[in-house]
Each structure stands twice: as C-alpha cells, then as structure tokens.
A and B are shown apart, each in its own frame.
Chain A
Amino acid sequence: MYTDLVMDHFSNPRNVGEVDDPDGAGQIGNPVCGDVMRMTIKVDDDRITDVKFKTFGCGAAVATSSMVTEMVMGKTLDEAAEISNRAVAEALGGLPAQKMHCSNLAADALHLAIEDYLTKAGRAGDVAKVLGKKA
C-alpha cells in the first residue's frame, strides 16, 4: 500500500530528534487517529538551518515528517511556509487515500514551529505575512 519512497523514509527516517536550543518548536496532535508530531527548527537570517522531527504515528506519518524535514532544510521561512501537505504527499510518490490526513500533521507542525520562531523573535506581526492564510 505504501510506495518504495514512503517505505524508505519510514525505515530510514531523516532528521529524527530535536535540534539543540531550538529557535522554534511546533507540536500538533491528529484529531483523526490521535497521533502526535513535533518539529523543532534553527533559524539564521530567516533561513532554516536545521530541522528535526519526532513523530508518534503510522508509517505515513513518519515518512511525511521525514520528507518535510528534507524539503525545508536550508529554505527561507517564506519558501518553507509554501510547503503544503499535498506537496509532501506528492514528493513521496503519493499516499493511500485513507493516509492523506497523516500528511497534514507534518506541514502543520512545521508552520507552528515557524510561527513560534517569529513570535519569540518579537515579530508576531509577521506571522500573517509569512504564513499567509495558513496562520
């Protein structure tokens, strides 16, 4: 039911853990089945220099978290904010229909981490601008 790429990210997840002394952190629970995902980021000059995840969830949830960390590493906050759950699922070569909701978790946790960073940096006013309608 999972693509080889999903299985690869699930079996060898990239960027697992928590970054030291994070600049932003986002944690979110999944209302559908009760899973939890946490993303921590390091930010330098509005660019994500490090990102790590922790996930309690199914194979798709782990794989999408891992994929998101790869997709945003080194990206600007604006670019990272653009990443949608659909884009993550596509990057993995697709997900089974009943597993699409798992990919929401990864993008949402990332957006929360960006929001947390901006708020902590005293730039709460920028949240709407950076995250657009996603905030």
Chain B
Amino acid sequence: MRTVYFDHAATTAVDPRVFAEMEPYFVERYGNPSEIHRLGREAREAVDKARAQVAAALGAADKEIVFTSGGTEADNMALSGFLSRLEPGHLIVSAIEHPAVMETARYLMRQNWEVTFAAVDSNGVVDIDAYAAAFRDDTRLVSIMFANNVVGTIEPIRELARIAHEHGAAFHTDAVQAVGAVPIDVADLGVDLLSLSGHKLYGPKGIGALYIKRGTRVAPILHGGGHERRLRSGTENVPGMVGLGAALELAVAELPSQRPRLEALRDRLAQGFRSSIEDTVYLGHPTERLPGNVCISVRFIEGESMVLQLDGKGIAVASGSACASGSLEPSHVILGMGYAAEEAHGSVRLTLGHENTDADVDYFLEVFPPIVARLREMSPLYVKR
C-alpha cells in the first residue's frame, strides 16, 4: 500500500544526511566533552560546531544558545528559569499555546504567579488591543508561540515583542513549529528567549535549544555538574546536538526552495479538499500560516474516525477531536479561536513536509471524499442538502 505521511507537525523523519553526520558519535567518537583527552576534545569540538550552526541559523551568537532535551524543556526553562529569580508577579501567555508552555504557566500559577491567557481572533491571531491592555506594572514575561502547531497560524511576533518591551516585560516565543519552516532572525524579531526542537526539522528527537539573548538572566531548572555554562547540567547528548546543528543548517539552506514548494502543495491540497467536500471550515489564518499546514473541520463527522479510515489507506494525519485526545477534551486551540466543540470534533490536520509530492496530494484527494461520504452516511447528525 502507498504510504503518505501528512503529520510533520507531530514529528519528521531524520534527514539521511543528518543521520550520516550523527552516526560516528555513537560508537566511534563517544567521548565525554568535559574530558580533556582526545576523545573528549573531539566531542567538545562537535558540540561547539553544533552550537555555532544553531546560532548561525537564528542570527544569534554562539554563547546565546543552550542545548536542551527538546522543545518542552526549552519552554520550561524559558518560563520557570526566567521567572524563578523574581518575586511572583504577572505573566502573559496566549490562549493557544502548546501544553509545554500552557502547563508550565499553570504550574507557575501554583507558585503564586498570576497569568493572563491572551485571547486570539477567529484566525488564531493574538488580539493586539486586548494583549496591550493586559500588561500590568508587575508583568515580567510574555510567552507567545511563533506559529501554532494545530492550525498553523503565524503570530505577529515582532510587534508583540515590541509591546512587551514597552511595558518592561521580557518576551519568549515557542518557535518549535516555525524554525526551519520560515525565516527567523532573533535580532530582527527582538525576542529575548526562543525555543526550538530538533525532531520538527528533520533532526533527531530528544534534542532542542533555547536562545537566551545576551543580558537576559535565566536560572537553571536542572542542577548538577554545571554543563552548558551552568545553565543545563547533564552530560551532553553529543549525537543529538550534532544532528540538530546539521539539520538546522540544512533547513535554513533549503528553506528558499522548500517554502514555496510546500505552500503550493498546501494550497492545492486545501483547495481540492474544500471543493470536493461540502460543509467544511478552513481553520487558521488564510495566508499567515505555516507553509505545510492544512487544518480543516468537516461537519457532521468525527476526527478520530477520519484518522483511522485514512490510516487504513496508508495516510497519516492528526485530529483535534475530543475523542482523539487522551483527555477527551476538544482542542483548546480550536475552542480558543471561538469555534464550538463540533468544529474541533470534525477537525483534521494535514501537515506537509520535505518528502511530500504532488502525487501524495492527488492520492489524498482521491481517497478522502469517499471516506467522508461513508462516515456521513453513518452519522445521525448528517442531513443531505
């Protein structure tokens, strides 16, 4: 059976060129970068090179990059590590953050921080006026994602960061979905903290990084031997770092060709989807969205059923349906955009990536309409028009 992977927002395959760079660091060059013998020095050089690659990809200085175990840890460090040095006050996060930020904010509420969950409009864009009005004298930090993992909406980060700075607050962005997909320059954006993760950009899982702008003070959240300039203890994941550095370098080099290619595939997929199926809602911003993200709600049917039926045809996709989530809650992102539980229930997220082709889009558009027709036939809510 044909296999089509349309779930790149969940994770990506490691690019074989990246894997080739990583491979020697498991069995041959296994040294501990803290040691001064040859194997240790070799590993240290690899870590330094990887850090320089990550820094270059973001327009940052090497010293501004701290490696972490992934996007989740980078987000935790940005929020908890930045705020733990301060007296509890006020924090702003958007209402559609990934759980890595959302749950960290909730944890901080239990540590006496007050949190404003900034509202978004029906396209998923932060409401600037409400956001600007949410600042208080004791607002210390803002965390707003660069691009949303469910609906793909890209936030106006430069403007949001500028407003935060006018109010004397620092600004963090979770750019896990955006790095490698759209151009990012930290100086141009004006952010103080930025999270990224290897496995969303054709690098390995379990490695990520936090950009910490020079002069921004962050306390470690992991204590130990003082690795990563005392910010993140733990023997370095050398192959992971090598993989992240290589993947990011490739992603940035190939972005100018991949981005328009993915945008064209995305738009053809979204258009074909919507013209072949009635009663759908295109979720997210019509233009300000990630190059590979298509998120659509199909009325009268449930997302997990669509995911399973597509899986039966070899196509991997995701859904924001309550039934498809471990918590049985509909996607807080789709609800946060003002939609009802029904829209979340019927949502499917298709996220395209480097290995997808026009033939994949054609295959999807061929097999999906009959699946929808069958499920609607089965739905007590469906009334044929």
Footprint of B on A, CB under 8 Å?
A: 7, 10-11, 13, 16-17, 27, 32-38, 54-59, 61-62, 98, 101-102
- Is A59 a contact of B305 with CB atoms below 8 Å? yes
A67 to chain B, nearest CB (A): 14
- Is B300 a contact of A11 with CB atoms below 8 Å? no
Interface size class of B (residues with CB under 8 A): 20 to 34
- Is A58 a contact of B305 with CB atoms below 8 Å? yes
Main secondary structure, interface of B, reads loop
- Is B323 a contact of A37 with CB atoms below 8 Å? no
Closest to B327 in A: A98
Q: Name, among A7, A11, A35, the residue most crowded by chain B CB atoms within 10 Å (CB to CB).
A: A35
- Does B13 belong to the interface (CB within 8 Å)? no
B328 to chain A, nearest CB (A): 5
Main secondary structure, interface of A, reads mixed
A26 to chain B, nearest CB (A): 11
B180 to chain A, nearest CB (A): 31
Binds A, one of B30-38, B162-170, B234-242, B373-381: B373-381
A41 to chain B, nearest CB (A): 15
B301 to chain A, nearest CB (A): 7
Footprint of A on B, CB under 8 Å?
A: 300-302, 304-305, 308-309, 312, 321-324, 326, 328, 330, 341-342, 345, 377-381
A-B contact pairs, 17 of them (CB 8 A): A7-B308, A17-B377, A32-B322, A33-B321, A33-B330, A34-B322, A34-B345, A38-B380, A54-B379, A54-B380, A56-B301, A56-B302, A57-B323, A59-B308, A61-B323, A98-B326, A101-B328
| Additional pairs, 11, CB under 8 Å, beyond known A11-B309, A98-B328, A102-B323 | A13-B378, A16-B377, A17-B377, A27-B380, A34-B341, A38-B380, A56-B302, A57-B323, A58-B321, A58-B323, A62-B378
